[in-house]
Amino acid sequence: MFKVKEQPFQLLETRDDEELCQLAAQGSRTAEEVLVTRYNRLVRTCARPFFLIGGDSEDLTQEGMVGLIKAVREYDANKAASFRTFAEICIRSRLYSVLRAAARDKHLPLNQSVPLDTPFFDSNSYTSGSGDLAQGNPETFLIERERTAALLAGVRKQLSEFEAKILGYYLDGLSCREIAETVGKPPKSVDNAVQRIRRKVARQLLSGEFSES
């Protein structure tokens, strides 16, 4: 198989996703690295809702990165979905697969992590392996995102103004240090706010009350 000649990272940064995927498919590790760097925040954004209810943030992020690399290596530009859409589906599918395996094996801490994208957190939604979202169905994926938004809307009603601001930045994939710099607060204050949010999310899930607005 023909192996493409490697180009400098800075040069490849100017290429679009589809071009980079083609180069990666031809064996360019640099192109793959550029895409992984470009979508690092997307991985964190996908993993954050899972972390809020429990689990290890680093473990979830690493598993999300596995899904991203899978997307880079398997993306087909001839299909309708953009690379970003395909990558997000692969990342979330990987996270669901890990949660299903964790639930079967009773492996801590990931089995304590509940995906916020599943309706009312029915165990069959993320442990059976039969769901459309776990298989990367885009339509189901969009429906579940709406359910996530409804849950978070309910949670936000319980948050202080500061906590609501932190939650928004956190779900956007910013690190605690980045959030701290944005809001002008110490990283420890941001981390404490995230922990308070996690406790309120847990109470929201246990109550079963979800906003439909």
pLDDT tens-place string over residues 131-155 = 444 444 555 555 556 666 666 777 7
**Comparing 15-29, 40-54, 135-149, which segment has the lowest mean pLDDT?**
135-149
**Same structural domain, 192 and 95:** no
Distance CA 130, CA 97 (A): 11
Query: In this structure, is residue 151 part of a structural domain?
Result: no
- Cα 131–Cα 58–Cα 129 angle in degrees, nearest 5: 15
Distance CA 116, CA 130 (A): 17
Domain ranges, residue 185: 157-206
Query: In this structure, is residue 150 part of a structural domain?
Result: no
**Same structural domain, 121 and 161:** no
pLDDT tens-place string over residues 80-132 = 689 999 999 899 888 878 776 765 655 444 444 444 443 323 333 333 333 44
How many other CB atoms sit within 10 Å of the CB of residue 135?
13
The CB-based long-range contact list for 11-14 (8 Å cut-off, 24+ gap) reads none
Question: What angle, rounded to 10 degrees, do the helices at 40-52 and 161-171 form?
Answer: 130
